[in-house]
Each structure stands twice: as C-alpha cells, then as structure tokens.
C-alpha cells in the first residue's frame, strides 16, 4: 500500500530531514510512527500527501509512483487518503453535518448520496445525535471524532493521523485510538504519528521508530518495542490541555 525506496528529503540548509529511508506498509496494516522532534515524522506525512517532493528516491502509494502524478492530478490522488490532524481543522461556522458533508461536496457527490452517507458516518463515530451542533459546542474528543468522520466519508484506502490525540486528555485519547482500530479492522490502512508512547504500547501494533531522519527500529505487533530513542523531557506527556480543560463545552 505504501512503499518508500531510498527516500531522502533535504531542505534549504542541506541537512536531510529524511535520509535514505526504505519502508513498506502493507494493505490493512495499523502502524505507529514515533520519534522525537526533528526525527522526520512530519516530513514523512507531507511526502505521502505529496505536499513535498523527495530530494531523491521513489514513493509508491496504492501502486502509483508519486513522481508520476502531475499537479492537476493531486486532488484526485488525495481522495484515497484520509487525514486527521492534532488541531481538528473543522469549519467553525458550519455545523457537524455540514463539516462532514463538505468533503463530499468537494468531489461532486450528489445531495442524495450526501444525505445518506453523512448520517451513517456520524453514527460510526458516535455523533449521530449531535449533527446540528457546531464545533464550539463539542469537547475536544468529539471534535476529533468529527475530523475522523470527515476524513473517512469518501472511503479512503489509507488514513494518516498526525498527532491525533495531542490535544486530548487520556480518556479521550484512548477512545480515539480504539475508534481508529475499529476503522482499521474494516480494511482501512492506518498510519498514526504520535508522541503518546503509553497508547503505542497498549495498542500492540507495528511501531516504526525514527531518529534524525532514519528508521532506527521497525517492530511488529507482539514484539518488544524499543522506545529508548532520544526525546524531549515532556515527550511522555499524554496531552497538552488549555486552562479550561478538554471536556468543557462552549455556551
């Protein structure tokens, strides 16, 4: 499903963010990517989305070499990839139904299909009863569920999640990861970039560890995971909450 062959990426300073990375992720896998700040995780995600081009090497996704995809073809290519971010990126002036429906309208889905698909997807993420609510009326965990629904509404083959639990408390973080596991069990390939090593250990999935642009460990499910890479002192923090906490609702 995802293949990197001798992929390197250097920015203007010349220091490689990725250095000769070789990686295979099979269809239907659930993979965590971990590592300290500057290890190359974010660069990897941007390369998979074709937001960046590699300095050298080849990236193949679902049988397509990304260097063969022309600029005008990128939007269509990305329809097969759902993306979830740490900061949710919801449309604040639209309710939950419209946030999810927007992803279908972009690809020209009919209103009839949208009216069928959106409620079904909101049910999958446990928010069917809140379809009229606005993002400000939801907890952080609920907003992330909306973001996941939006990422999945066009039935992508791959779900990329970049720090999806970074702004959530421990309980909400666990609920989001269990939801992603359910999605994976339905056939979607899931790749999660995270600093939350407690969840990584608890989930017992394949773990790819990066350090300074290199894959230093690739551990399969059920194997002992090495999480002893260099890290910031606060790397093991589960969440970064604001003063009001994650579960507060707006008026």
Calpha distance 125→82 (Å, rounded): 15
User: Residue 167: which pLDDT band, with cuts at 50, 70 and 90?
Assistant: confident
pLDDT at residue 53 greater than cutoff 70: yes
pLDDT at residue 192 greater than cutoff 70: yes
The more confidently predicted of residues 243 and 15 is: 15
Calpha distance 160→92 (Å, rounded): 22
The per-residue pLDDT for 37 is 86
Please provide the average confidence, as pLDDT, over all residues in the chain. Answer: 86
234 burial class (0-12, 13-18, 19+ CB within 10 angstroms)?
exposed
Here the tokens at position 111 are 């209103």
Calpha distance 177→165 (Å, rounded): 8
User: Residue 226: which pLDDT band, with cuts at 50, 70 and 90?
Assistant: low
Residue owning tokens 């941007």: 46
What phi and psi, each to the nearest 5 degrees, are found at residue 24?
-130, 130
User: Residue 242: which pLDDT band, with cuts at 50, 70 and 90?
Assistant: very low
User: Using an 8 Å Cβ cutoff, are 216 and 227 in contact?
Assistant: no
Q: What is the mean pLDDT of residues 37-62?
A: 94
pLDDT at residue 248 greater than cutoff 50: no
The per-residue pLDDT for 215 is 96
What phi and psi, each to the nearest 5 degrees, are found at residue 235?
-65, -30
> What's the CATH code, domain 1-80+156-233?
3.40.50.300
The per-residue pLDDT for 189 is 96
The more confidently predicted of residues 32 and 219 is: 32
User: Residue 45: which pLDDT band, with cuts at 50, 70 and 90?
Assistant: very high
- The residue ranges of every structural domain in the chain are 1-80+156-233, 90-154
Calpha distance 177→183 (Å, rounded): 10
Integer Rg of the chain from CA = 18
Calpha distance 102→204 (Å, rounded): 34
How many CA atoms lie within 13 Å of 57's alpha carbon, on the beta-carbon side? 24
The per-residue pLDDT for 224 is 57
User: Using an 8 Å Cβ cutoff, are 201 and 228 in contact?
Assistant: no
The more confidently predicted of residues 86 and 124 is: 124
**What CA–CA distances, in Å, run from 55 to 45, 59, 160?**
15, 11, 22
The per-residue pLDDT for 222 is 66
| Ordered strands of the 189-193 beta sheet | 81-85, 158-162, 189-193, 30-35, 206-211, 214-219
pTM above 0.75, yes or no: yes
The per-residue pLDDT for 225 is 55
Calpha distance 106→153 (Å, rounded): 12
Task: With CA atoms as reference, report the closest residue to 130 among 188, 90, 72.
Answer: 90
Calpha distance 176→244 (Å, rounded): 21
């Amino acid at each position: 499903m995802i293949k990197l062959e001798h992929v390197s990426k250097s920015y203007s300073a010349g220091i490689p963010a990725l250095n000769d990375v070789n990686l295979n992720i099979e269809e239907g896998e659930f993979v965590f990517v971990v590592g300290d700040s500057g290890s190359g995780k974010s660069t990897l995600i941007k390369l998979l989305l074709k937001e960046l081009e590699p300095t050298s090497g080849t990236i193949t996704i679902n049988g397509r070499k990304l260097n063969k995809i022309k600029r005008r073809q990128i939007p269509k290519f990305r329809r097969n990839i759902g993306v979830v971010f740490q900061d949710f990126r919801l449309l604040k002036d639209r309710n939950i139904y419209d946030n999810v429906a927007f992803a279908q309208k972009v690809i020209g889905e009919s209103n009839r299909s949208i009216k069928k698909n959106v409620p079904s997807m909101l049910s999958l993420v446990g928010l069917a009863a809140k379809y009229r609510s606005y993002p400000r009326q939801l907890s952080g965990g609920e907003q992330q569920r909306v973001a996941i629904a939006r990422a999945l509404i066009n039935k992508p083959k791959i779900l990329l999640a970049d720090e999806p639990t970074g702004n959530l408390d421990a309980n909400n973080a666990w609920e989001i990861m269990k939801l992603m596991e359910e999605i994976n069990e339905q056939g979607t390939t899931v790749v999660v970039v995270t600093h939350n090593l407690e969840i990584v250990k608890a989930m017992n999935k394949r773990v790819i560890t990066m350090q300074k642009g290199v894959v230093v460990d690739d551990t399969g499910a059920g194997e002992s995971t090495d999480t002893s890479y260099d890290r910031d002192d606060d790397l093991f923090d589960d969440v970064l909450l604001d003063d009001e906490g994650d579960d507060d609702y707006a008026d």
